[in-house]
């Protein structure tokens, strides 16, 4: 008996929230949890079958394109994904076994700059004004072949029609919170910046060397120093396989965060922002799509990746009306994208994108960028 009393004394006290539950309340919770679990398992089985069909259809389309065959509507899943309609998950009366892991803070502009100084001794050359950066971007964008309509409308969509060159996703307002590392007029992620440096380092360095040849005195010396730093950054970005997943992992390291500061530099930032869009334009051309891409079509490639975006862009209007947007996403990405869910066909998603662009191009930032061309 003494031993049992000692055991009871040593046992951890149950939380008051649990002690307050009656046997009936606990039984109700367990019943609701069982109902939820059964409904969720049935839904997950249906959803898994649906998204497996999406994947198989995508493989079929890719094979047909390689063979030069025509893609038809039946090469897509033509029904919308299943939606869970069962009971909600009940709130557990029991405390969690482990405390929740706090969310790791995303790096912001101050972190990009601090890491650039520490790891590459790099400080971006700031524009004299926002219009100064817009003019630089317009010169680069038009030089690479982007039209004013493409550049201005995508800027309007990506940065809200009034975003500054250093705007970061989620921090558009004074009380915002960073939701990603997406930065600048075309909202490049750290992964995008690393990807572009690895793919187009020669193009970027070539543009800097052109500026060096035209410069003199202190300006020339500063550009030469910058070119040497960019060359180091390019070499760093090539230390991993040329794959998105490897670049994404590299982008979480201090040096990977540092290279993102190039977007804030007057000489390099506009080139990076432009190359992101030109990669999509050139992808479509390599696939034989020579028609000019509308800004909304180009944004689809920017949003879903070149392969999925081109899949949307290249289909005729009659198919755009019936093909669900789910065909161009992975399950997790689709379920986190309320815009694609609401606008659940290709035609609706393009129309919603155009409508947002129409709504934002009247803002001063978009007008200033248009005037810069």
| Beta-ladder partners of 345 | 324
Give residue 178's pLDDT: 87
Tokens read off for 29: 């919770």
What number of other Cβ atoms are within 10 A of residue 286's Cβ?
A: 10
Span 207-225, pLDDT tens digits: 999 999 999 999 999 999 9
Residues of the chain with pLDDT under 70: 1-21
Give residue 173's pLDDT: 75
Residue among 261, 303, 268 nearest 108 (CA): 261
- CB-based contacts of 352: which residues, under 8 Å, 6+ apart? 339, 342, 343
Left (φ > 0), alpha (ψ -120 to 50) or beta: where does 160 sit? left
Give residue 18's pLDDT: 52
Dihedral in degrees, nearest 10, Cα atoms 53, 59, 61, 62 = 160
Give the integer Cα–Cα distance in Å for 194 and 200. 10
Domain covering 109-372 in this structure, CATH number:
1.10.530.10
Give residue 275's pLDDT: 97
Give residue 11's pLDDT: 42
Share in percent of the chain as helix, strand, coil (round to 5): 65, 0, 35
Give residue 3's pLDDT: 43
Q: What's the pTM?
A: 0.86
- CB-based contacts of 168: which residues, under 8 Å, 6+ apart? 108, 109, 178, 180, 181, 182, 183
Give residue 96's pLDDT: 73
Give residue 105's pLDDT: 85
Give the integer Cα–Cα distance in Å for 142 and 294. 15
Residue among 100, 116, 88 nearest 32 (CA): 88
């Amino acid at each position: 008996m003494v031993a049992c009393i000692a055991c009871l004394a040593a046992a951890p006290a149950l939380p008051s929230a649990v002690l307050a539950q009656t046997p009936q309340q606990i039984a109700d919770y367990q019943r609701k949890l069982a109902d939820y679990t059964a409904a969720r398992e049935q839904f997950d089985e249906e959803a898994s079958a649906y998204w497996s069909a999406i994947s198989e259809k995508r493989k079929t389309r890719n094979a047909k394109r390689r063979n030069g065959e025509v893609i038809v509507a039946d090469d897509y899943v033509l029904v919308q994904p299943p939606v869970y309609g069962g009971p909600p998950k009940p709130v557990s009366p029991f405390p969690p076994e482990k405390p929740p892991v706090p969310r790791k803070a995303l790096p912001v502009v101050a972190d990009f700059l601090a890491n650039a100084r520490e790891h590459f001794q790099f400080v971006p050359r700031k524009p004299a004004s926002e219009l100064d950066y817009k003019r630089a971007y317009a010169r680069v964008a038009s030089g690479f072949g982007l039209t004013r309509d493409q550049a201005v409308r995508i800027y309007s969509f990506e940065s809200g029609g009034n975003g500054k060159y250093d705007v970061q996703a989620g921090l558009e307002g004074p009380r915002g919170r960073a939701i990603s590392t997406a930065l600048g007029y075309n909202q490049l992620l750290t992964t995008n910046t690393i990807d572009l440096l690895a793919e187009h380092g020669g193009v970027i360095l070539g543009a800097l060397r052109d500026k060096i040849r035209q410069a003199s005195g202190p300006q020339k010396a500063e550009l030469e120093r910058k070119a040497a730093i960019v060359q180091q950054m390019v070499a760093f970005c090539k230390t991993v396989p040329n794959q998105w997943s490897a670049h994404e992992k590299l982008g979480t390291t201090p040096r990977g965060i540092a290279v993102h500061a190039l977007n804030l530099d007057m000489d390099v930032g506009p080139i990076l922002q432009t190359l992101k869009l030109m990669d999509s334009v050139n992808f479509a051309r390599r696939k034989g799509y020579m028609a000019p891409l509308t800004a909304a079509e180009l944004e689809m490639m920017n949003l879903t990746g070149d392969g999925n975006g081109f899949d949307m862009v290249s289909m005729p209007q009659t198919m755009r009306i019936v093909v669900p947007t789910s065909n161009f996403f992975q399950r997790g990405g689709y379920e986190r994208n309320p815009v694609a869910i609401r606008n659940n066909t290709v035609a609706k998603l393009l129309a919603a994108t155009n409508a947002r662009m129409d709504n934002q191009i009247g803002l001063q930032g978009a007008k200033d960028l248009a005037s810069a061309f």
